[in-house]
Amino acid sequence: MFGVFLMIFGTLFVEASHTISKKVLSHRLVDAISLSFVNHLGFLGILFVQVLLFPDTFVFSMASVPTVIVRTLLEIIQAWLIIEALSKASRSTFGFLRVLTIPLLLVADIFLLSTNISMQQYLGIAVIILTSLWMFRHNGKDRKGMWVVLAGSLNAVITLSLYKYHIQYFNSVAGEQLVVGAGTMIGLFLIERFRYKRNPFSSLKEKIVLKEMAFLGTAAVMISYAYSFLAISVVTALNRALAIVWSVMFGHKYFHEDHFKEKIFGVLGFVIGIVLLSIPLHNAARDFMIILSRALVI
């Protein structure tokens, strides 16, 4: 249940961050790579403080180095893809195509990571996927930025699977994310500095960028730790569902205004999916029957 709470608040901060990112990029206050760089800077800053306060939370195994290098390279690509997707694709396209990662991660959970997933959680994932497809069915013609989002979604399957594998068998969350995050940040800095002749640190002069960095850095830490408690397919399903719930609550338009009733039914579908993923209903029913039987005895 703790992992679910981390996802609830983590996705709330992500939604706030993405809203600011869209504004920052559309007004060309910073470029995509610089924004991704400062986001990693905020994320690593929070983790670094955590390790300073609690040194035992940093565990890193040298046996993981080969696959950590692979993940770092893919994370550099992923960081660029996400920012490009936010700047080019509509929010509907962004949300719709990212749902495709859920069944692929479910396959990774079952066949690669040997994760135990209950029948109730399978049902929750299915409800979230079907609700997402139903909600976004009006946006099939919007193809702007589609290939960037699709590439990022498929790449995320690999990076998330590697991340879960590392924290399951080799490294702590802080150890894994600090090493990979530092490598990703260095890679982004070198690309920005020598390929585009720009200084990514200059974007820190914008106050709105600092706000965005704080939101996303906090969110990244919360969601990183959620993977310690939940399967990657469950975390991703919660991520997608909660992101849309927060978006509807805060007024983002995933579809036309005359589909208001669909928003309500869609949110209800996501809430049902989230409950199925989060709460063991068979235990809740059992506890209810025990309480009821005791009350009848009394």
* For the chain, percent of residues with pLDDT exceeding 70: 79
Q: Tens digit of pLDDT for each residue in 62-85?
A: 999 999 999 999 998 888 787 777
* pLDDT band (50, 70, 90) for residue 261: low
Contact 292, 131 (CB under 8 A): no
Q: Taking residues 239-266, report their average pLDDT.
A: 65
CB atoms within 10 A of CB 61: 14
Q: Taking residues 195-203, report their average pLDDT.
A: 85
Domain spans, the chain = 2-297
Instruction: Kindly tell me if the per-residue pLDDT of 166 is higher than 70.
Output: yes
Contact 96, 187 (CB under 8 A): no
| pLDDT at residue 200, rounded to an integer | 87
Q: 């009821």: which residue's tokens? A: 292
Q: Tens digit of pLDDT for each residue in 13-30?
A: 988 887 788 778 778 888
CA separation for the pair 272, 11 (Å, rounded): 17
What average pLDDT does the structure give for the chain? 80
Q: Tens digit of pLDDT for each residue in 212-238?
A: 899 999 999 999 999 888 888 788 888
Instruction: Kindly tell me if the per-residue pLDDT of 3 is higher than 90.
Output: no
